[in-house]
Chains A and B, each alone.
Chain A
């Protein structure tokens, strides 16, 4: 083979190779494409592009409409809340603060669910404190709001359960020979305070005609905690003080009338550990 033939073949090879390389960069084999095929393909892609652009406009319009609906829903939601705040004489900040107070009370009261009747009875002052907090919160009109209303109803139910549980902590005491009220009250299992004999007497008046006379085999009901609507007199209290603690000092007469049998003729003479009924 002479140099001329080699050069010819090399040239032919280079041309074919270059064409092949160029053909690989494109989506089509343009080399084998006819004019009609080219026109059809181009037309097809032009139509697809036009259709897609029309769809883009349509989608953008639909999305804009959804955005408007979202904005309208937001406005309606906020307007509704503004009306609620107005109905219960508050604003958003006041409502949230109040709701937080309700939830804090609920949190405090939650622990009572797991306590025994005796444990609750021993913490009766704390329970009364929660009942007072609930009463204060109920005085605020905001308590009618959606969340506070539900929360405070739960708190009320929990406190009622706790109170019922505490009041169920009652000792049934069998009198034995040698017992007397002073001694029974002083027992650590009862009140641990002999002066509280008055309570045992108050709760068992139907059996005890004379507090100095009790008999073996008598069974006394001795509550560990006072019931709702009762007041255990403490040292230094008078009827005015007690009436004041329940809301109105001027209702001491009603208090006396409701407990005349226990207090006696002299309204000024009441004793610690007396059990009084508090009229509503």
Chain B
């Protein structure tokens, strides 16, 4: 048979543990699967957004390359017209 003091202490400990369990166990908490789903989805979204930025940067570089090539095409077209005229002048003479 427990003494009054000891009984009191046991009761306080049980109540304390009870509060603890209440604190931890009561209310809604996401399950480990739900936490994983949230984290994975977030990471996938961030990775996809990064990929979009990378692709935009690559496209911009390629557009710069294209602009340079189009300038060269215009230049060589001008050269071709000049050569054509020179050849005509030579054949005319």
Across-interface contacts of B51 in A (CB, < 8 A): 52, 56
Residue contact A48 to B45, C-beta cutoff 8 Å: yes
Residue contact A77 to B69, C-beta cutoff 8 Å: yes
Closest to B37 in A: A42
Instruction: Answer whether A38 and B52 are a contact pair too, CB < 8 Å, given A8-B13, A48-B45, A70-B66.
Output: no
Across-interface contacts of B48 in A (CB, < 8 A): 48-49, 52-53, 55-56
Report the bound CA distance from A46 to B80 in whole Å. 56
Across-interface contacts of A2 in B (CB, < 8 A): 6, 9
Residue contact A74 to B83, C-beta cutoff 8 Å: no
Report the bound CA distance from A46 to B37 in whole Å. 10
Partner of B52, one of A4, A59, A67: A59
Residue contact B86 to A149, C-beta cutoff 8 Å: yes
Partner of A41, one of B38, B59, B73: B38
Report the minimal beta-carbon distance from B77 to chain A, rounded to whole angstroms: 6
Residue contact A12 to B55, C-beta cutoff 8 Å: no
Report the bound CA distance from A46 to B46 in whole Å. 11
Report the minimal beta-carbon distance from A75 to chain B, rounded to whole angstroms: 10
Closest to A89 in B: B87
Residue contact A144 to B52, C-beta cutoff 8 Å: no
Residue contact B76 to A38, C-beta cutoff 8 Å: no
Chain B 29-47 near chain A by CB (<8 Å), digits 1 or 0? 1100011011101101100
Across-interface contacts of A87 in B (CB, < 8 A): 80, 83-84, 87
Residue contact B13 to A5, C-beta cutoff 8 Å: yes
Residue contact B13 to A49, C-beta cutoff 8 Å: no
Partner of B24, one of A19, A27, A74, A144: A19
Across-interface contacts of B10 in A (CB, < 8 A): 4
Partner of B73, one of A8, A16, A59, A80: A80
Residue contact A76 to B73, C-beta cutoff 8 Å: yes
Report the minimal beta-carbon distance from A18 to chain B, rounded to whole angstroms: 10
Report the minimal beta-carbon distance from B28 to chain A, rounded to whole angstroms: 5
Across-interface contacts of B77 in A (CB, < 8 A): 80
We find that the number of chain A residues with CB closer than 8 angstroms to chain B is 51
Report the minimal beta-carbon distance from B16 to chain A, rounded to whole angstroms: 7
Across-interface contacts of B59 in A (CB, < 8 A): 59, 62-63, 66
Residue contact A12 to B20, C-beta cutoff 8 Å: yes
Closest to A41 in B: B38
Across-interface contacts of A73 in B (CB, < 8 A): 66, 69-70, 72-73
Residue contact B29 to A88, C-beta cutoff 8 Å: no
Instruction: Answer whether A70 and B65 are a contact pair too, CB < 8 Å, given A19-B24, A38-B38, A45-B42.
Output: yes
Report the minimal beta-carbon distance from A87 to chain B, rounded to whole angstroms: 5
The answer to the question of A207 belonging to the interface, with a C-beta cut-off of 8 Å to chain B, is no
Chain B 3-19 near chain A by CB (<8 Å), digits 1 or 0? 00010011001001100
Residue contact A12 to B83, C-beta cutoff 8 Å: no
Report the bound CA distance from A146 to B37 in whole Å. 65
- Enumerate the 4 nearest inter-chain pairs by beta-carbon distance, A residue then B residue, closest first: A52-B48, A59-B55, A49-B45, A73-B69
Q: Can you list 17 contacts pairing A with B, beta carbon distance less than 8 Å?
A: A26-B35, A27-B38, A27-B39, A30-B29, A35-B28, A38-B30, A48-B49, A55-B48, A59-B56, A63-B59, A66-B62, A70-B65, A74-B69, A76-B73, A77-B69, A77-B72, A80-B73
Q: Which residues of A contact B (CB under 8 A)?
A: 2, 4-5, 8, 11-12, 15-16, 19, 26-28, 30-31, 33-35, 38, 41-42, 45-46, 48-49, 52-53, 55-56, 59-60, 62-63, 66-67, 69-70, 73-74, 76-77, 80-81, 83-84, 87-88, 141, 144-146, 149
